[in-house]
Structure 1
Amino acid sequence: MTARQAWIGLIALLISLGSPLQAREIWTDGVPDAYFQHFIDFYKADPSALGRWAPGMRKISSAQLDATIKALDTTQFTYLYPMEMKGFELPGHMGIPIEELSVMAVRAGKFIPIPFQIDEFDKTGLIWIDGENDHPAEGKPGTFDDFDELVFMFRDGGNSRYSPTEHALEAGEILEEIRLDSPRNQPRYIYLVRNNPERSTADYVSADLKAGQIQSTLMHLDYEPDDFTQIQSMAPRLGPHQDKSVFDNIYVNISTGILNQKLRVDLDTRKNIKATPIAVRDGPVRVSMLVKARIWYAYLPTFFSQKFQVDFYEQSVTIPSRFAIGSVKVLKFFLMFLRDPRIHFAIDFHNLDGARVTFQSVYGRQEYGLVDGEMSLFENTMNATRLPGDWLHMDSNQGWEMFFSNHMPVVPNGLFDAFLNGVNMNMFYEDDADSLTDYERFPGATPRLGFQSSGLPRTVINLMGAIPKLDYANMNSLGEAIVALAEAENDGAFKKYDAVVSERLAELNAQGRFTTVESLADAFIADLDRMNFSGIPRDTFNRLVHQAIIDTTTRPDQLHHGKVLQRMIALAEEQDLDISRLRYATMDNTLWFPAWVGEGGASDFHWQVSHAPSASLKGSPTRSSAAAP
């Protein structure tokens, strides 16, 4: 044993003794010290070094991983965090051809390009891929517009600011200095540049639709090319467990009556539910896959199909579930036909002996379920829990972890949850080596994790029938719908809708819940805060909604939705905000893959997710144009 290995082993022992709840498998092999130090020097100078050096870093130790993160002045979270800026957040630079824009930073004293991409979207918020979308592009394709998105990694920003006297700009001009702030890191700076031909060679993630593969610097995923639900393998590319898949199967089963409970159909991912990747936007920081979900029955495609997208980053996956104005129509249509639906969703894992699993709702005493093939008392509690809370955490016991950030707008025991009366739901967790299913490839639940539900939300169904009847088909955004609905209030369009809500609120008040207008408004915002709104910053939109409820509501059991919308519009006008800019909302459910969640544990990692880095504009540096030839 070398002195370095002995030192790493001692650190591992101290960590495990000092914090047993945050036990972590320690990779002790490591790469040679001199080689590692050269890598750090190159990596601090240029983000593209990660890709060039990755093959030689496959045996990196845990201590070396931590040293890398420390050397870059990041936390476990901010190291893997991708930053996104909409075009309207860079108002002075819209209308420029996208191909003329790039991003640079000062790294190790040099002004260099860093990995970035600018993505475009359609009117409903789906990634824009020419020829593949059902709706027109938002703005002019190829031109940097309001709702285009600039994407880059927080860690790639430079700790030093650009200085015209110290750093050479060989071509083009600097349009904007952008400061990146994180609660636990020093400020970083990036620069939006025009007409500079330099581009970083780094490529953190890539996709091959024909082969059915997604690969990042740190992990790879294989799936059936014609059905993304049929994932064959998911494995890390670093450490002693590299290329060891931890994935068995995704299984979804929907059993429902059609018009009556006796005429039932069963749909599942083995035979009836397919999600076919049809196109991809493959950038250096993010891969956005456009997927078409379709239900098949009796080996024939049905009328139902829906497009959605999946975003892959180096160490995370996001499914930005959209709520656009058309979503109400789809939901209303299905609720008309379904009777007593039952849903079972499960992810079956493999090769995770010794892993630990928990989620926020059961984390009061920082307990974990241990994957050992047997259900413990705590694991049975997990299995009976109704909702997971804001997060779910799995330590793989292999030197890397999974952390799921839940952005479904249903806070446990919150306001929206109370309107799901009639639905029975609970988390599903099974750790049983003898539990077999006919859909798994590897026998046993080691573990099997998901959720299940039955029934329909009675109040929501009544609300669907009471929605004011307007021409939603010709509305392009949520903002347009808000304006139209506010006008409809003058014609009494919300009378039936308000009555349904008030009836349920009266029941909740009688139970001692939401008994003041303030608590009602707070509960509404607590659910709404899990969503992102495109066109108006989330905090700004939340303040508008909260104040509008307070200003128009005199009793906690009577909410007048039309008046709330009218007041929202008035408040927005007072603040020079155009409410019609609100396009759609997304529920950005994200699965992170950190090396570990850090010394503060899962709750602290969630705090960092909730207090993610932010960007602010600082203007153009003095004399930022390249000298004329």
Structure 2
Amino acid sequence: MGKLAVQQLFLMASILLLGTSVQASNDLDQQINKLLQRPVLLKANQIPRLGGIALRRIQVIAKGSDGVVKAIPFQLDEFDQDGFPMVAEADDIVVDGEWGVLDANDEVLFMASDAGSKLSSVELKDFHTLYEVSMVTGSSEKFVYLTGVRALPNHPKHYVHFDQEKAIIKTDWYQLTLDQSNPVIWKELFYYNYGGAEKKPTESLLDTMKVRLHSGVFTRFMNISLSNKHLKARILRVKNGPIRTVIQLEIRVVVAKIPVMKIGMQFHVMPQMIDFPSLVAIPGIFDRVMVEPTMTISLDWNDLRSSEVFTALYPKKPAIVDGHLSAHEIALRQSGINNDENWIAIDTGKNFASVFSLKLPKDKDVGVLSFFYDDSFVLADAPESVLGQGPNMGWKIRDMPSDVRYYMTPSLFFIDSLGDVPVVDLVSYGKYSTSAVVNDTPVH
């Protein structure tokens, strides 16, 4: 076989593999879309003709089932130089680019369910469209269009909302109530599709979220144990977007009047999940004050008996919530997860499941991660409003470093069931739909 023929075969094989890879990616995207309602995300560098245009002029439109072209709910988020969506223009935050215009790292968000049929060439001209965005929803192809002229009234629908006065997060799928004086204390979680007969509609699925710091102070012989209520957390700003509400917090940990940790955190509230991107700063004094510290971050569920609990390293061998710690559950504490593979999941089998994952930097020492877990309906572990750990599951971090600054992102999904999508794929690709195809439209 000649050299040219070999090159042609290699090229054909490469194209075939690429096509197979793209098809597999699209198939996975469709599988995840069946599992949860998630935003479509476009990076501004995908739509360069809108670059530099004032945000107030940009609009996302679609043709409804009635044949009328309307604006759909959408969101434009600008980013600061730390990589966080900007909640508002402020003196203490440096925008990445120019405030009020679309820059390369900004994002456009909308919901695929609002897409419609293809516009005609006349409609493309009438509405000054610059981009056509196509996506497969179910068995059909749907479209939305991006314009550089805001000619239609904005759509009033919000898929997510945070009532700051009542401290209630609400979407079409769930409601989460925070403590009004401390947003890292969670009080109630309702998931509207849950079908557990043993729970009344007024009973929360979640008892509370627990953040604990256990440590010696100056010496291992003088110990302290701090919980959520000891964290000095306050909401700085809120952006109630229709697709992704952003709540910006500042959290400080103070021991013996000495600040030992500062966390800049955001809640990214979306229809079926919450992201918690965080910038953690631990000063050099940390290891002089704190001796052998360990931190736990966990969700204490409210009597979800008979549920199955899965971990990243045991995705096919679940623990069963029955009020007693089995040998398998005890083993999971040691070997259920590690720093790189750390997702944990619970499936009630009654139209509610949840996945909790943690994205950590690979180039920073952040400590050693293990699975924190208790399964008991009678064990008290304050602060809590309901007796028992039904179960209490999360992460334990030991060997915490000092004099470091790093990013981490916990993520929490609320879905009907774990379904057929491998949890590792849900964690890696499930936050946003990114398979939409962007095409230029003729400039009129």
Calculate the TM-score normalised by the size of structure 2.
0.79
1:184-333 pair list within 5 angstroms:
187-193=141-147, 194-238=149-193, 240=195, 242-257=201-216, 261-262=220-221, 265-270=224-229, 272-297=230-255, 302=259, 305-322=262-279, 330=282
Q: Distance in 2 between matches of 1:97 and 1:301?
A: 45
Could you say which residue in structure 2 is the equivalent of 1:377? 327
Deviation at 1:399, TM superposition (A): 0.9
Could you say which residue in structure 1 is the equivalent of 2:347? 395
CA contact (8 A) 2:194 2:416 kept: no
Secondary structure (helix, strand or coil) at the match of 2:253 reads strand
From 304, 307, 330, the counterpart of 1:355: 307
Deviation at 1:278, TM superposition (A): 2.5
From 90, 95, 117, the counterpart of 1:137: 95
Going by fraction, where is helix more abundant, 1 or 2?
1
* 1:440 and 2:384 matched: yes
Q: Distance in 2 between matches of 1:210 and 1:278?
A: 13
C-alpha deviations, 1:78-123, integer Å up to 9, x for none? 7512232232332221221111111112343443322111122322
C-alpha deviations, 1:247-268, integer Å up to 9, x for none? 1122222233456545655432
From 157, 172, 193, the counterpart of 2:115: 157
Going by fraction, where is strand more abundant, 1 or 2?
2
From 410, 415, 429, the counterpart of 1:594: 415
Secondary structure (helix, strand or coil) at the match of 1:387 reads coil
Q: 1:391 to 1:621 in 2, by over 3 A?
A: farther
Letter in 1 for 2:185: Q
Q: Distance in 1 between matches of 2:177 and 2:144?
A: 34
* 1:367 and 2:317 matched: yes
Deviation at 1:398, TM superposition (A): 2.8
- The alignment's C-alpha RMSD in Å is 3.4
Secondary structure (helix, strand or coil) at the match of 2:430 reads helix
C-alpha deviations, 1:104-146, integer Å up to 9, x for none? 1234344332211112232222332336563222222222222
Deviation at 1:303, TM superposition (A): 8.1
Could you say which residue in structure 1 is the equivalent of 2:24? none
Letter in 2 for 1:221: L
Secondary structure (helix, strand or coil) at the match of 2:238 reads strand
Q: Distance in 2 between matches of 1:133 and 1:111?
A: 40
From 613, 616, 620, the counterpart of 2:434: 613
Letter in 2 for 1:454: R
Deviation at 1:317, TM superposition (A): 0.4
1:83-94 pair list within 5 angstroms:
83-94=40-51
Letter in 1 for 2:204: S
Letter in 1 for 2:384: E
Q: Which runs of 5+ in 2 are unaligned?
A: 1-29
Could you say which residue in structure 2 is the equivalent of 1:404? 356
Secondary structure (helix, strand or coil) at the match of 2:88 reads coil
Could you say which residue in structure 2 is the equivalent of 1:427? 371
Could you say which residue in structure 1 is the equivalent of 2:133? 178
CA contact (8 A) 2:87 2:246 kept: no
CA contact (8 A) 2:268 2:274 kept: yes
Deviation at 1:230, TM superposition (A): 1.5
C-alpha deviations, 1:187-233, integer Å up to 9, x for none? 54321112222322321111111111111111111111221122111
Q: Distance in 1 between matches of 2:380 and 2:309?
A: 20
Q: Distance in 1 between matches of 2:285 and 2:423?
A: 40
Deviation at 1:395, TM superposition (A): 0.9
Q: Distance in 1 between matches of 2:82 and 2:422?
A: 37
Deviation at 1:606, TM superposition (A): 5.2
Q: Distance in 1 between matches of 2:31 and 2:368?
A: 42
C-alpha deviations, 1:386-431, integer Å up to 9, x for none? 6252532211333121123442245xxxxx69x77xx554211111
Letter in 2 for 1:613: T
Calculate the TM-score normalised by the size of structure 1.
0.58
From 285, 293, 308, the counterpart of 1:341: 293
Q: Distance in 2 between matches of 1:115 and 1:448?
A: 37
Q: Distance in 2 between matches of 1:255 and 1:79?
A: 37
Q: Which moved more, 1:309-318 or 1:607-616?
A: 607-616
CA contact (8 A) 2:171 2:270 kept: yes
CA contact (8 A) 1:428 1:449 kept: yes
Deviation at 1:319, TM superposition (A): 1.0
Q: Which runs of 5+ in 1 are unaligned?
A: 1-72, 411-415, 466-583, 624-629
Secondary structure (helix, strand or coil) at the match of 1:597 reads coil
CA contact (8 A) 1:597 1:605 kept: no
* Structure of larger gyration radius: 1
Secondary structure (helix, strand or coil) at the match of 1:368 reads strand
Q: Distance in 2 between matches of 1:607 and 1:146?
A: 23
C-alpha deviations, 1:242-291, integer Å up to 9, x for none? 44311112222223345654565543223x21322222100111110011
Letter in 2 for 1:226: S
Q: Distance in 1 between matches of 2:34 and 2:409?
A: 17
CA contact (8 A) 2:272 2:415 kept: yes
C-alpha deviations, 1:137-180, integer Å up to 9, x for none? 2222222222322111234333x432224x5876x411212234
Q: Which moved more, 1:145-154 or 1:595-604?
A: 595-604
Q: Which moved more, 1:215-224 or 1:86-95?
A: 86-95
Count the aligned residue pairs. 407
Q: Distance in 2 between matches of 1:606 and 1:303?
A: 31
CA contact (8 A) 2:303 2:389 kept: no
Letter in 1 for 2:84: L
Q: Distance in 2 between matches of 1:607 and 1:191?
A: 28
Q: Distance in 2 between matches of 1:430 and 1:231?
A: 19
CA contact (8 A) 1:94 1:145 kept: yes
